[in-house]
Amino acid sequence: MTTATLLATALGGCTLLPPDAVRQVRSAHDAYRAGRYDQAAQTLSPVILKYGQSPEVCEALYLRALCRVQQRQMGAARQDLERALPRSERVDLTALIRAQLGHLAFDEDRYPQAAALYSQAEPDLPARGPLGQVLYQHGVSLQRSGRFADARPLFARVFKEFASSPLAVNARRKYDWNRDYFTVQCGAFTKMESTREVVDELRQRGVQVWVSPETRNSENFYVVQAGRHRTYAEAAATARAIQPVVSDVFIMP
């Protein structure tokens, strides 16, 4: 999952800046929404340079961080967010900053840190905004930290409270996972002959595999799975080793 960006919906804090600075931030906001990230960042930088020690500049820092995420300048984005967080006096903006820092940690595989940031952000995020996405990635972060039981209530909230979201199906699948380990799915086949070919090839390479029969949409499948890993990193290593044999692999849950 790629890093998400969480755009603030109001420029409340910035209205305390001088009028010319407010106009610059609003112009950058419009440029960001139009996908002109370079222009938005360049517009914000003089405001941040001039008013960088003021709490009112937090939204400019946050917005420039979002621009830098889109530009794949993750280190610079984190610096802006970490500058903004201790200065923020707006509850909603503070939550957005923490959630965005959580996304950066998530994409760097720092799952315990991501989970902690998401947990701090969630109570103050609006239900109609990015909350569903943050809940989902919080749950994934907990799973990948080995906290399977703690993740399930978050996935339940996603598929119950955000049933129309594209995340709901995956949240349900992850919620239904009742084991405390990761495995790698190496294919789902309708014919035993195809299943045996994959299983034999993987076993010749020293991979521990087994076959689980499943019914999906009234059709029977033989699902090939490899390994029972205590950590997500171990499962990811197995997935990389298997890809030369089976390209369409993914980690469960």
CATH number at residue 121: 1.25.40.10
How far is it, in rounded angstroms, from Cα 86 to Cα 230? 36
* Same domain, yes or no: 110 and 31: no
Tokens 């610059």 belong to which residue?
24
Q: Residue 1 domain-assigned?
A: yes
* Same domain, yes or no: 5 and 73: yes
Q: Residue 51 domain-assigned?
A: yes
* Same domain, yes or no: 168 and 188: no
Beta bridge partners, 182, equal: 229
pLDDT of residue 224 exceeding 50, the answer is yes
What pLDDT does 205 receive? 87
pLDDT tier at 29 (50, 70, 90 boundaries)?
very high
User: H-type helices in 34-130, by residue range?
Assistant: 37-51, 58-70, 74-84, 91-107, 111-121
- Residue 64: which domain range? 1-89
The pTM score is 0.87
How far, in Å, are 56, 100, 160, 161 from residue 229 at the CA level?
A: 47, 29, 29, 31
Per DSSP bridges, beta strands 209-216 and 182-189 are: unpaired
pLDDT of residue 4 exceeding 90, the answer is no
Beta bridge partners, 252, equal: 183
pLDDT, average across residues 36-45: 97
pLDDT, average across residues 128-157: 95
pLDDT of residue 155 exceeding 70, the answer is yes
What pLDDT does 1 receive? 46
How far is it, in rounded angstroms, from Cα 244 to Cα 253? 22
* More confident of the two residues 5 and 126: 126
How far is it, in rounded angstroms, from Cα 183 to Cα 230? 9
Q: Residue 59 domain-assigned?
A: yes
How far, in Å, are 222, 227, 249, 251 from residue 188 at the CA level?
A: 5, 16, 10, 13
pLDDT tier at 13 (50, 70, 90 boundaries)?
low
pLDDT, average across residues 241-253: 88
- Out of 179, 196, 223, pick the residue that ends a domain: 179
* Same domain, yes or no: 81 and 63: yes
Instruction: Give percent of the chain with pLDDT exceeding 90.
Output: 74
Q: What is the CA radius of gyration of the chain?
A: 22
Supply 27's token pair. Answer: 């112009």
Nearest alpha carbon to residue 211 among 229, 200, 197, 199? 199
Q: Residue 211 domain-assigned?
A: yes
pLDDT, average across residues 147-161: 97
Q: Residue 137 domain-assigned?
A: yes
pLDDT, average across residues 35-41: 97
* Same domain, yes or no: 32 and 60: yes
For the stretch 65-122, pLDDT in tens is 999 999 999 999 999 999 999 999 899 999 999 999 999 999 999 999 999 999 999 9
Q: How many domains does the chain have?
A: 3
Q: Residue 243 domain-assigned?
A: yes
What pLDDT does 10 receive? 46
DSSP single-letter state for residue 191: S
Q: Residue 95 domain-assigned?
A: no
How far is it, in rounded angstroms, from Cα 11 to Cα 205? 58
Supply 72's token pair. Answer: 């794949």
How far, in Å, are 218, 237, 238 from residue 183 at the CA level?
A: 24, 11, 9
- Cβ neighbors of 118 (< 8 A, separation 6 or more) are 98, 99, 102, 134, 135, 137, 138, 141
